[in-house]
Amino acid sequence: MNIRKLLIPFALLGLASMPAAAQTVWDGVYTAEQAERGKDLYLAECVLCHGATLLGAEDGPAVTGDGFRAAWDGRTADQLVERIRTTMPADGPGFLSRSQSTDITAYLFSDNAFPTGEAEMKSSLATLKKIVIKAEKE
């Protein structure tokens, strides 16, 4: 019996279990509609600390611009979504659902000029872990 014929099924199993290639925020990982929902949530829940222009206020840092991009460069969307979900708003952490936090993240991506795509960003951690935030397009 040919050893190659025996190894092929195992090789195919190995390929099937490999994780999908990561996306970056430059790949259009959210929709304009999702960002609009996120904007509404941001204005209701985040504006007091982070400001109407997203440039920060007395109680919260900027969530747009070079500083924000540098701070999150190389991190993944799940980290940002979970930061929002578990620590904000400051007067009621954990109030926002993962879905709401994902929509707010879409709004932050939009305001940071990351392009929109044709599919909404899913709120599952497994999906969000595959989206890398890159400060600059490569």
pLDDT over 60 (residue 6): no
Q: What is the pTM of this model?
A: 0.85
Rounded to an integer, what distance in angstroms lies between the CA atom of residue 129 and that of residue 87? 19
Under the banding of pLDDT at 50, 70 and 90, the label for residue 19 is very low
Cα three-residue angle 118-122-123, rounded to 5 degrees: 155
What is the mean pLDDT of the segment spanning 16-28?
74
53 closest CA partner among 67, 40, 38, 43: 43
Q: What is the pLDDT of residue 8?
A: 44
Q: State whether the Cα torsion 50-53-54-58 is positive or negative.
A: negative
pLDDT in tens, 47-81: 999 999 999 998 899 999 999 999 999 999 999 99
Reading the block at residue 53, the tokens are: 């222009």
pLDDT in tens, 25-49: 999 999 999 999 999 999 999 999 9
